[in-house]
């Protein structure tokens, strides 16, 4: 076996663990689930709130390998690749939220969902935008320029929310500038309604600080390739992680850690956590040579975007198709998992089973050496 893939196994496992946990938290059997598997109501950060920024961090890790190939290409070719990938990922996300393209009509039949009622932004769309903008920054700017612009994004976002939010209520659900900006640009009909009114946690303005999660993942990937297997390199990762968490907690006093408006303190906090998690994986995998357990997660890591998209699309249709007056999704939970373990445990069993279904698809693809790239 070649040693090349093994060298960066911690990065592959980190990416796979992120996708695995993302599927689990996105597909509980019901809303009756354990607190760590729920998002923070507003300010604060639960384990679930670490998933999406960790995915962006993992996107940056992957870019630390792919961007090297661009050095042999001309600027027009590089721009073509970046813009094509950004567009395709964004389009997949947009179409996913539009599925299944029809809905129940008032007369009991079906009607086509007009494009005016579609959600424009979302998880894949944010991944696309953050990937595209981070790639352009890294390709066109020197390293110091990238970090300087990253600082501007974090500090500038804080300033924008402070200046344009409702005075004295800048960081509340109804008073933040993210809501105001998204409503002005996209209108209520194109926003997520999960909070009970139009508000998109993956809005336009709050995408700006999220770019830094990708940037941090990119430079961490480069660092791991260069120094990740050394004691000094591992120590530096741990120190950086702890320093960012402390900085985030201090900033939290003025700019609360909040996923739904993706505050700058939240960026520092989640990057710090990611650095510590990656450090732990490097210690276990590279230093202790304990790799027997890693294969499960690398299945997710080899087809991350495809398996995430699969998990969402299947759920959409499980909710869309009804039997006995309820969705198939609800029926499965109520008639299979709740009788086995009522309440939160049954809901978790549903999520774990569904995650294993997605893993099985990924395993089949891996055995056939099919790796879906966008």
329-345 confidence digits (pLDDT tens):
999 999 999 999 999 99
> Quick one: pLDDT at residue 71?
79
50 plus 186 within the same structural domain: yes
335 plus 251 within the same structural domain: no
Q: How far apart are CA 327 and CA 317, in angstroms?
A: 9
Q: How many CA atoms lie within 13 A of 353 on its CB side?
A: 14
pTM as predicted: 0.94
Structural domain of residue 321, as residue ranges? 303-374
| Contact in structure between 244 and 269 (CB atoms under 8 Å) | yes
Q: How far apart are CA 251 and CA 269, in angstroms?
A: 10
62 plus 197 within the same structural domain: yes
Domain count, the chain: 2
> Quick one: pLDDT at residue 229?
84
> Quick one: pLDDT at residue 165?
94
198 plus 259 within the same structural domain: yes
Provide the residue count of the chain.
374
285 plus 320 within the same structural domain: no
What is the DSSP-derived secondary structure letter of residue 103? E
Its sign, for the CA torsion 249, 251, 255, 259, is negative
Residue 36 lies in a domain: no
347 plus 245 within the same structural domain: no
Comparing CA positions, the residue from 294, 297, 288 lying closest to residue 359 is 297
Residue 4 lies in a domain: no
Residue with tokens 């900085």: 247
Q: How far apart are CA 14 and CA 298, in angstroms?
A: 9
227 plus 353 within the same structural domain: no
| Contact in structure between 6 and 294 (CB atoms under 8 Å) | no
161 plus 202 within the same structural domain: yes
325 plus 244 within the same structural domain: no
Tell me: cis bond preceding 308? Omega within 30 of 0 counts.
no
Q: How far apart are CA 64 and CA 207, in angstroms?
A: 21
Give the domain-ending residue among 291, 325, 360: 291
> Quick one: pLDDT at residue 3?
35
Stretches where the chain sits below pLDDT 50 are 1-6
Give the domain-ending residue among 291, 322, 356: 291
Give the domain-ending residue among 291, 323, 347: 291
Rounded to the nearest angstrom, the gap between the alpha carbon of residue 109 and the centroid of all alpha carbons in its chain is 36
Residue 284 lies in a domain: yes
Tokens of 179: 């809501």
| Contact in structure between 203 and 178 (CB atoms under 8 Å) | yes
What is the DSSP-derived secondary structure letter of residue 255? S
Q: How far apart are CA 33 and CA 297, in angstroms?
A: 24
Residue 2 lies in a domain: no
DSSP-derived secondary structure for 266-303: HHHHHHHHHHHHHHHHHIIIIIS---TTTHHHHHHHHS
53 plus 186 within the same structural domain: yes
| Contact in structure between 300 and 20 (CB atoms under 8 Å) | yes
> Quick one: pLDDT at residue 173?
93
Residue 279 lies in a domain: yes
What is the DSSP-derived secondary structure letter of residue 336? I
Q: Give the helix ranges, DSSP H, for the chain.
A: 4-7, 9-26, 51-69, 75-98, 123-140, 143-164, 177-186, 207-227, 231-252, 264-282, 295-302, 304-320, 328-332, 338-340, 344-367
Question: Cα–Cα distances in Å, from 319 out to 29, 114, 315, 333?
Answer: 11, 20, 6, 12
pLDDT of 295-310, one tens digit each? 999 999 999 999 999 9
Residue 241 lies in a domain: yes
276 plus 314 within the same structural domain: no
Residue 192 lies in a domain: yes
Residue 234 lies in a domain: yes
283 plus 186 within the same structural domain: yes
Tokens of 370: 């099919």
């Amino acid at each position: 076996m070649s040693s090349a893939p093994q060298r960066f196994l911690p990065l592959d496992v980190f990416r796979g663990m992120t996708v695995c946990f993302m599927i689990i938290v996105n597909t509980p059997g019901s809303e009756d689930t354990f607190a760590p598997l729920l998002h923070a109501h507003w300010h604060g950060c639960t384990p679930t709130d670490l998933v999406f920024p960790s995915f962006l961090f993992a996107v940056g890790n992957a870019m630390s390998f792919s961007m090297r190939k661009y050095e042999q290409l001309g600027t027009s070719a590089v721009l073509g690749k970046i813009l094509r990938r950004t567009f395709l990922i964004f389009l997949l996300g947009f179409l996913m939220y539009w599925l299944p393209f029809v809905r129940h009509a008032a007369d009991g039949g079906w009607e086509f969902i007009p494009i005016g009622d579609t959600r424009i932004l979302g998880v894949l769309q944010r991944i696309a935008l953050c990937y595209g903008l981070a790639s352009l920054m890294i390709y066109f700017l020197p390293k110091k320029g990238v970090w300087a612009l990253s600082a501007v994004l974090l500090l500038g976002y804080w300033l924008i929310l402070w200046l344009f939010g409702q005075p004295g209520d800048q960081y509340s659900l109804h008073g933040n500038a993210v809501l105001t900006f998204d409503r002005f640009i996209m209108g209520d009909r194109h926003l997520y309604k999960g909070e009970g009114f139009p508000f998109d946690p993956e809005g336009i303005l709050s995408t700006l600080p999220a770019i830094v999660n990708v940037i941090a993942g990119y430079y961490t990937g480069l660092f791991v390739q260069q120094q990740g297997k050394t004691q000094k390199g591992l120590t530096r990762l741990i120190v950086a992680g702890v320093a960012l968490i402390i900085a985030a907690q201090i900033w939290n006093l003025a700019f609360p850690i909040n996923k739904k408006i993706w505050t700058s303190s939240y960026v520092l906090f989640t990057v710090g956590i990611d650095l510590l998690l990656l450090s732990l994986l490097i210690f276990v995998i590279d230093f202790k040579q304990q790799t027997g357990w890693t294969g499960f997660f690398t299945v997710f890591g080899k087809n991350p975007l495809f398996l995430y998209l699969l998990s969402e699309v299947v759920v959409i249709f499980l909710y869309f198709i009804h039997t006995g007056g309820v969705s198939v999704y609800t029926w499965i939970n109520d008639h299979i998992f709740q009788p086995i373990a009522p309440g939160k445990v049954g809901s978790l069993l549903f999520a774990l089973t569904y995650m294993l279904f997605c893993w099985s698809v990924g395993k089949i693809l891996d055995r056939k050496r099919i790796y879906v790239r966008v």
